[in-house]
Amino acid sequence: MSHTAHIPSHRKPRRSSSKLALRAGVAGGVLSTLAVAAAPAQAEPVTETIEMPTINPDLAGSLSSAVAASAEATQQEALTQELRAQEDAAAVKAAKDAKKAKAEADRKAEAERKAKEAEEKARAEAQERASRSSARTTLSASSDSDSGSSSSTATGSAAAIVDFARAQVGDAYVMGATGPNAWDCSGLVQAAYRQAGIDLPRVSGDQSSMGTSVSLSDLQPGDILYWGSRSGSYHVAIYVGGGKYVGAQNPSTGVVERSLDWDPPSGAVRIL
């Protein structure tokens, strides 16, 4: 036996022809499959056509009418808004004009009222001046007839009143004062009448409402003279005869003796 008989050979064993054929067939089939899968698919030609819609003439007319109506409505709304704005502006202007007219009417009415008041005041002042002028004429005649008369012509209570009043000439005038060295008009008259035992009210309006009314042409010593209305007089004094009176006039003059025509009184009352 050879010494190499038990050493295995290094050659690959030969494959049989049938196995080789089988493997070649399998490989060919796989390659054929891959070739078919890889081949690009042929696109089929498009044979379908798309039809465009046809516009119906009636539909086109309706659409045109709708567009026209919308435009007309828009225009009408714009006109309405403009008209409303004009009406609002006219209303505002009318209100302003009415307010201005009312203010002008009120101004004219106020001016007429003031003019009427001024006219009435002027008429009243003219009547007052005429009345005083008449009274002055009457008092002048009375003074002439009483010329030379004095407190000595007064007797009894009248003499006491006149003498007391004349004794206060030169005293001060102080509102609300009742003596002994300062007086207001009604305070002096009240104190003078007290000398005759007669109590008079404190204020001039009440004093001129006492007794009986007498004419300025028929005065007697001791009569109370008043200025203003009889029940609402604002000043009083005592007639002392000879066309004169004594009264507490005002803070600048004090108690004075004056002629009747210096400031003619409105009337007179007699209490004695």
For the residues 232-259, what does the mean pLDDT come to? Answer: 96
Contact 186, 202 (CB under 8 A): yes
149-270, what's its fold?
Answer: endopeptidase fold (from Nostoc punctiforme) (3.90.1720)
According to the per-residue pLDDT averaged within each range, which of 4-8, 55-59, 139-143, 235-239 is highest?
Answer: 235-239
Rounded to whole angstroms, the maximal C-alpha distance in the chain is 218
Q: What is the pLDDT of residues 178-211, one digit of tens each?
A: 999 999 999 999 999 999 999 999 999 999 999 9
Query: What percent of the chain has pLDDT above 90?
Result: 42
Distance, in Å, from the CA atom of 237 to the CA atom of 231, rounded to the nearest integer, reads: 15
Which of the two residues, 120 and 27, has the higher pLDDT score? 120
- pTM for the full predicted model: 0.47
pLDDT confidence of residue 118:
74
Distance, in Å, from the CA atom of 31 to the CA atom of 12, rounded to the nearest integer, reads: 28
The band of 59, judged by pLDDT with boundaries at 50, 70 and 90, is low
For the residues 68-73, what does the mean pLDDT come to? Answer: 81
